Amino acid sequence: MTRSNPGNVLRSDYQKAVASYWNKEKNPVNLRLGDVDGLYHHHYGIGEVDWSVLESAEDTRDERIIAELHRLETVQAEVLLDHLGDVGPGDRLLDAGCGRGGSSIMAHQRFGCRVDGISISEQQVEFANQQAKLRGVDNAVRYHFRNMLDTGFETGSMRGIWNNESTMYVDLFELFAEHSRQLVFGGRYVCITGCYNDVTGGRSKAVSQIDQHYTCNIHPRSAYFKAMMAANLVPIAVVDLTAQTIPYWELRAKSSVTTGIEETFLTAYREGSFHYLLIAADRI
């Protein structure tokens, strides 16, 4: 890969295929949920479900299920932000693989600081910038069409960096080397990811089906720690969120916005071949 040429964003046929998927993507499970309050997420939910939504009256049932799924996704982003540590208004944060930008907006609301989001989907970047403008935070929250493996941001410029379900599209050694370069000493890195279980073996059938569905390449759990150590990122917290995300998938499977991947996630999590993991690490 050619490095240090951030203008050259899409560098392989694989990256072009991924960008093309997200440029076209208009799943109601993402757009209708985002419409609830204007925070558009591209990650899943965690936490206890209010199952009473399923018993709602016919005319409000669908709307209540959508709102509940959205609430659970927002809780997930809050938990990620909880692990960023001390961040002040003068700091800078990077949302690597920002999707339509929801997590970046939340980070700005919480910390009052500048947040840059990057994506290889020009459609997502445009959408996210429009949302920031609508909220009047476009002076502080900016989205860019850039490659997370070579962002062009200055060395040591970031207090915190996160990947919210976007590490499965890239080589982790390349990714963490680039994160490490951008983080200040003592800066924090957080990811929430789906990874496969080294203990149960290689990729299970369900994990392979998830890869195929999203054109991604789910890594084993071990790969995260090897690649972090190689990049001077020292884990401070590892949280297994698997049990907390299963109810989200159970509710999603009963909703009107299914995409067909719901039962596969439930199988992968229940059989133990796949984990939903949060990892926080410090740059040393």
Binders in 42-101 for ligand GPP, by CB under 6 A: 42-43
Binding test (CB under 6 A) with ligand GPP, winner from 66, 158, 168, 228: 168
Binding test (CB under 6 A) with ligand GPP, winner from 8, 27, 212, 217: 27
**Residue 40, amino acid:** Y
Alpha helices in 139-241 (DSSP H): 172-182, 205-214, 221-230
**Rounded Cα–Cα distance for residues 200 and 35 (Å):** 39
Binding test (CB under 6 A) with ligand GPP, winner from 259, 263, 272, 284: 259
**Residue 242, amino acid:** T
Binders in 20-39 for Mg ion, by CB under 5 A: 29-30
Say which entry of Mg ion, ligand GPP, none residue 210 contacts (CB below 5 to 8 A, set by partner kind). ligand GPP
Among the candidate windows 2-10, 111-119, 162-170, 177-185, which touches ligand GPP by CB under 6 A?
A: 162-170
Q: What does the DSSP 8-state code read for residue 149? A: T
- Whether 158 contacts 184, CB under 8 Å: yes
**Rounded Cα–Cα distance for residues 131 and 23 (Å):** 17
Binders in 171-210 for ligand GPP, by CB under 6 A: 193-194, 210
Question: Which residue's Cβ lies closest to ligand GPP?
Answer: 194
Among the candidate windows 86-94, 109-117, 119-127, 163-171, which touches ligand GPP by CB under 6 A?
A: 163-171
If one asks whether residue 166 binds Mg ion (CB under 5 A), the answer comes out as no
**Residue 168, amino acid:** M
Q: How far is the CB of 96 from Mg ion (least distance, A)?
A: 18
Say which entry of ligand GPP, Mg ion, none residue 218 contacts (CB below 5 to 8 A, set by partner kind). ligand GPP
Binders in 212-241 for ligand GPP, by CB under 6 A: 214, 216, 218
Letter string b/e over residues 18-43, b meaning 16 or more CB atoms within 10 A of that residue's CB: bbeebeebeeebbebbbebeebbbbb
Q: What does the DSSP 8-state code read for residue 52? A: G
The candidate with the shortest Cα–Cα distance to 95, out of 224, 191, 16, 30, is: 191
Q: Considering beta carbons, is residue 30 or 124 the nearer one to Mg ion?
A: 30
Residue 7: exposure state from Cβ atoms within 10 A (0-12, 13-18, ≥19)? exposed
Residue 271's SS3 state is helix
Give the residues lining the site for Mg ion (CB under 5 A).
29-30
Give the residues lining the site for ligand GPP (CB under 6 A).
27, 29-30, 42-43, 165-166, 168, 193-194, 210, 214, 216, 218, 259, 261
